[in-house]
Amino acid sequence: MRRPYHRSYPKDWWLRHPHYRRFMLRELTSVFVAYFAFWTICLLFQASRGPEQLAAFLTTMRKPGWLIWHAIGLLAVLFHTYTWFETAPKVLAVRIGEKRVPDRVIVGAQWVAFVVVAAVFFALLRLAG
Amino acid sequence: MAELLKHDVVIVGGGAAGLRAAIAVAERNPSLSVAVVSKIYPMRSHTVSAEGGAAAVIKGNDSREHHIYDTISGADWLADQNAVELFVDEAPRELTLLEHWGCPWSREPDGSIAVRPFGGMKIERTWFAADKTGFHMLHTLYQTALKYVPITWYDEWFATKLLLDKDRCYGVVAIELRTGAIRGIVGKAVILCTGGAGRVYPFTTNAITKTGDGMALAFRAGVPLKDMEFVQYHPTGLPGTGILITEAARGEGGILVNKDGYRYLQDYGLGKPLDVHDPRHPVKRTMELGPRDKLSQAFVMEMRKGRTLKGPYGDYVLLDIRHLGEKKIDEKLPFVRELARNYAGIDPVYEPIPVRPVVHYMMGGVHTDVDGKTPLPGLYAAGECACVSINGANRLGSNSLTECLVFGARAGHHAAEYVGSAPDPDSSALEQQVRDEADRIRKQFLERTEGERLVSIRKDMQNAMEEGCGIYRTEQSVQAALNKVEECRERFQRVVLDDHTNSFNTELIAALELECMLDVARALCQAALERRESRGAHQREDYPARDDEKFLKHSLAYRTADGVKIEWLDVVITKWPPAERKYGADSGLPSEGGNKS
Amino acid sequence: MAEETIVLRVQRYRPEQDSDPYFQDYEVPYRKDWVVLDALNWIKEYKDGTLSFRWSCRMGVCGSCGMMVNGRPRLTCNTFLREFYPNPITVEPLVNFDIERDLVICMDTFLEKLKKVKPWIIRREVKSPEEGPYNQTPAQLYRYKQFSMCINCMLCYAACPVVGMHPEFLGPAALALGVRYLLDSRDQGWNERMEEVGSHEGVWGCTFVGECSEVCPKHVDPAAAIQQGKVLATLDWFKRWLMPWGQK
């Protein structure tokens, strides 16, 4: 006789191991990436309405509530970036001959690229400003 | 209820031989229905643990003559030479087929197959997939076999008995583990591919499943077991667990040393050592690359001289591969490193590995011809559970995986032909046999509530076998083992289980396995008793010389009402008359025809 | 001197008598070189023959003895008691599978999934064995070698929340093997295999938790296989829809 026992998957599975919690954090922080994209569109929209509207928008953004909110958002996005870079070696198996390029080289290369792109961006801003 | 599950060919065992046989039947005649009955999922089969490689001539510097000669001399001339010739001729084709099916063989830089040397070989010819060759071969075979629609998989079904009718074999009685149901699985041909019986001994490289089931099934049906006295001890198993450290470790240059750091093999007619950094090291058929029987015997001699090390699991020596360096060890022997770290607690990059000889392989098995046919019409056998014989008194390392393929395929092809001509069985007779077997199992195991637990019987049998039928034997020691085995058989009649349920009763399976081992052990002892000579892996201290006059013969053990009866069968000699086995400097292939003594 | 002991808290379920699983404690001798499987065997041999579990090779290559050890999927043949001593060890059957009995899980779903990725070489033109082996350089071999090391032990299925929530997901081991054949230079079955591997139940079912690779005892890194499978599936999609003339 056979009577297989079925176990249902626990709803709180993501609380049951640090790795799962970390995974959920990674997924949730991606919301801030979308948020900042939306915020950038808002910024451009205000800019298109003229200098006064833009100035008013920026004044609002300097209020402490907004600053705190965006500081949190920045941390979240940086964490998300970090996890994204960490997982990249799994997606990109770069091989040179028989040898696989070590994971840390791929991760390191991304950070270097990140810093370079950020530096160029701020340099352009400074030139424009 | 004795419902019969009907097929054309029934294969018992899902390891390399069984899977190769299943594919062979399906390819030869796709209209045939094939049943693969395996007590564990096929990818769990013990083939998975084979490490070093599979032999076949493929390189220009090698030749069929070399492979034949290495095999025959390794076998101490007890191999049938017609079988060896055929084996060597078909080996490259079989390994190539496996390559076509996806086996990730290790490669040379130009993309051709890479080979490595093994013990007892004049020329390197072992194909390998790092040091997980058996694993890759098994998974390649299993995954390939999945594409054949005519194959029905009876995973986790344990065969307990052959179905017979009018002196032909027509299938098996088997228990479905998950339900406990006992059914007849019927086919006009049965191929036994159940592997070896290393678990008859306490220290073995073999998985828990290697309990000689197919050998016992055939033996009980009146089919003789051939050359059962020849048990190969692998010289390098881990003490305690018996886990195998592959011969490839020595093929790549590993050395064996005693407690003084001395390469003791030089004292036992295996040639002189070269420095490990000498580019000619390791020399084929010399020192650490001598045959397995000689190396295991040298260990015992060394132990008697008190020059081995002592540990909690008995005496041991050291296998040193440190000079290969981390890079080569990781590339060629990654599994050796993993096993040594996990189970010996040492990293072989920095420390030598403790090793001792452990039971590894049964040269003997169900008596078959080169087509896998047994004397019982409709019954075939292949792989370690069969004895063709190409292995004689001592198997050459890396011939066994190839043997599973060559003779698995041959058995499959011949069984597929045979089913066309075999008469239909009497179904009601078969149904009756299934009912009788179900009754027997219920009464003997599931209903008994008092008696002896099986573990004590098993341990007593295993210890008796190691003491009496180990590397060195005498009339007295073998007789003592036989007496103990007979006593264990008596006690087994009163074995009691804790588990009287049907679903996944693994204790019941363990009992049935022990029953098989007791039959195998009995045949083994009787053959060891009556072979009054020393040859290959069978070393009788009371008869220290090889005796070709009387014993250039296979032993055939028959089960009779009054014990095991031994008959003798001449060895087939074609072109290589018996000669002295030589290893070391003057070893190797004699000139044309092989007449050098 | 009293022998040192350790407690194994083992989940039991016998379908013929128990309606639900429960835990049973066993006190077993503690030995530094014993693995959890040794302790289970000691129980089975000397204390309770009714305890059922699977095992075979005891050297970490057959894949039979995967169980939850203190909540983590492990091969019990290479999980040492000394890792937990003197605390008790909880042993349960692998999660995300139905329980057949005690520590034995039902594997049927995996075998169906394995077959779906067509884990065999598919050739349009077949070479006869007499023509010899295919050529495959070490670099070509290493492209897929790691993904061919899977022993089907099912630890990754027990670790994967997607398998737990969506049983139809093909899962890490089967997908790694699918990708292994996609990457094999000898294989020509790209299109038919990609239909399964590149499907919603295939690589796109994966949310990249990455836990499969954490628990894999053979360092197969199925998470990497699946992410690379996503890249292959994306390129395949572009080829099919943007360059239909580019089809082989």
For residues A18 and A58, state if they share a domain: yes
Task: Tell me which chain A residues have a C-beta less than 8 angstroms from the C-beta of B179.
Answer: 1-2
Task: Tell me which chain B residues have a C-beta less than 8 angstroms from the C-beta of A2.
Answer: 178-179, 503
Whole-number pLDDT of residue B591: 40
For residues A64 and A113, state if they share a domain: no
The A residues from 1 to 40 touching B (CB cutoff 8 Å) are: 1-3
For residues A19 and A64, state if they share a domain: yes
Which ranges in B101-231 belong to alpha helices (H)?
133-145, 213-220
Report the CATH fold assignment for C108-246.
Fumarate Reductase Iron-sulfur Protein; Chain B, domain 2 (1.10.1060)
For residue A60, the domain's CATH number is: 1.20.1300.10
- Please, what's the largest Cα pairwise distance for chain B? 71
List the domain boundaries for chain C.
5-105, 108-246
Q: How far is A3 from chain B (nearest CA, A)?
A: 9
Distance, CA of B198 to CA of B212 (rounded, Å): 8
User: Is there a contact between C99 and A4 if contact means CB atoms under 8 Å apart?
Assistant: yes
- Tens of pLDDT along chain B (597 residues) come to 568 999 999 999 999 999 999 999 999 999 999 999 999 999 999 999 998 899 999 988 899 999 999 999 999 999 999 999 999 999 999 999 999 999 999 999 999 999 998 888 888 899 999 889 999 999 999 999 999 999 999 999 999 999 999 999 999 999 999 999 999 999 999 999 999 999 999 999 999 999 999 999 999 999 999 999 999 999 999 998 999 999 999 999 999 999 999 999 999 999 999 999 999 999 999 999 999 999 999 999 999 999 999 999 999 999 999 999 999 999 899 999 999 999 999 999 999 999 999 999 999 999 999 999 999 999 999 999 999 999 999 999 999 999 999 999 999 999 999 999 999 999 999 999 999 999 999 999 999 999 999 999 999 999 999 999 999 999 999 999 999 999 999 999 999 999 999 999 999 999 999 999 999 999 999 999 999 999 999 999 999 999 999 999 999 999 999 999 999 999 999 999 999 998 886 655 444 333 333
The class of domain B235-358 in CATH terms is alpha beta
What is the DSSP pairing of strand B182-186 with strand B4-6?
A: parallel
Q: Is residue A108 part of a domain?
A: yes
Helix, strand, or coil (residue B99): helix
For residues A62 and A23, state if they share a domain: yes
For residues A72 and A19, state if they share a domain: yes
Report the CATH fold assignment for C5-105.
Ubiquitin-like (UB roll) (3.10.20)
Helix, strand, or coil (residue A128): helix
Quick check: C95 and C158 in contact, CB under 8 A?
Answer: yes
| Tens-digit pLDDT profile for residues C187-217 | 999 999 999 999 999 999 999 999 999 999 9
Task: Tell me which chain A residues have a C-beta less than 8 angstroms from the C-beta of C215.
Answer: none
Segments forming the whole domain that contains residue A74: 11-79
Task: Tell me which chain A residues have a C-beta less than 8 angstroms from the C-beta of C143.
Answer: 93, 95
pLDDT level of residue C247 (50, 70, 90 thresholds): low
Q: Is residue A86 part of a domain?
A: no
| Tens-digit pLDDT profile for residues C223-235 | 999 999 999 999 9
Considering only CA atoms, which of B282, B287, B286, B297 is closest in space to residue B235? B297
Q: What percent of chain A has pLDDT over 70?
A: 98
Distance, CA of C116 to CA of A110 (rounded, Å): 36
What is the DSSP pairing of strand B314-320 with strand B353-362?
A: antiparallel
Whole-number pLDDT of residue A97: 67
Distance, CA of C22 to CA of C67 (rounded, Å): 16
Q: Is residue A23 part of a domain?
A: yes
C210: contact with A, CB 8 A cutoff:
yes
Q: Which residue has the tokens 């006059």?
A: B549
For residues A19 and A63, state if they share a domain: yes
- Of A120-124, B366-370, B408-412, C95-99, the range with the lowest mean pLDDT is A120-124
Pick the CATH number of B4-53+130-232+361-423 from 3.40.50.720, 3.30.465.10, 3.50.50.60, 3.30.70.270: 3.50.50.60
| Tens-digit pLDDT profile for residues A29-55 | 999 999 999 999 999 999 999 999 999
Q: Is residue A66 part of a domain?
A: yes
Is the pLDDT reported for residue C244 higher than 80? Answer: no
* pTM listed for this prediction: 0.95
What is the three-state SS of B533-562?
Answer: CCECCEEECCECCCCHHHHCEEEEEEEECC
| Tens-digit pLDDT profile for residues A57-100 | 999 999 999 999 999 999 999 999 999 898 888 888 777 766 77
pLDDT level of residue C2 (50, 70, 90 thresholds): low
Q: Is B356 a catalytic residue?
A: no
For residues A110 and A62, state if they share a domain: no
User: Is there a contact between A98 and C164 if contact means CB atoms under 8 Å apart?
Assistant: no
Distance, CA of C238 to CA of B360 (rounded, Å): 54
- Residue B63: asked if its preceding bond is cis (omega within 30°), the reply is no
Could you tell me which chain A residue has the CA closest to the CA of B180? A1
Candidate from C53, C101, C133 with C-beta closest to B113: C133
Give B371's DSSP letter.
T
State the best of A2, A3, A99 to mutate against chain B, taking most chain B CBs within 10 Å: A2
Whole-number pLDDT of residue A102: 86
Is the pLDDT reported for residue A1 higher than 80? Answer: no
Q: Is residue A85 part of a domain?
A: no
Quick check: C156 and C204 in contact, CB under 8 A?
Answer: no
Helix B81-100 / helix B133-145 crossing angle, nearest 10 deg: 70
Is the pLDDT reported for residue C113 higher than 90? Answer: yes
Q: Is B250 a catalytic residue?
A: yes
Candidate from C15, C96, C214 with C-beta closest to A19: C214
Task: Tell me which chain A residues have a C-beta less than 8 angstroms from the C-beta of B180.
Answer: 1
Is the pLDDT reported for residue C169 higher than 50? Answer: yes
Candidate from A2, A4, A91 with C-beta closest to C228: A91
Sorted by sequence, the CB contacts under 8 Å of residue B352 that are 6+ apart come out as: B257, B318, B319, B320, B321, B322, B346
Distance, CA of B250 to CA of B325 (rounded, Å): 14
Predicted-assembly ipTM surpassing the 0.90 threshold: yes
With 0-12 / 13-18 / 19 or more C-beta atoms within 10 angstroms meaning exposed / middle / buried, residue A20 is middle
Torsion sign across C-alpha atoms B61, B66, B70, B71: positive
The B residues from 378 to 437 touching C (CB cutoff 8 Å) are: none
Q: Is residue A100 part of a domain?
A: yes
Distance, CA of C212 to CA of C218 (rounded, Å): 11
User: Is there a contact between C227 and A90 if contact means CB atoms under 8 Å apart?
Assistant: yes
Which ranges in B426-453 belong to alpha helices (H)?
427-441
Apex C123 CA angle, C125 and B144, nearest 5: 135
A93: contact with C, CB 8 A cutoff:
yes
As for how many domains chain A has, the answer is 2
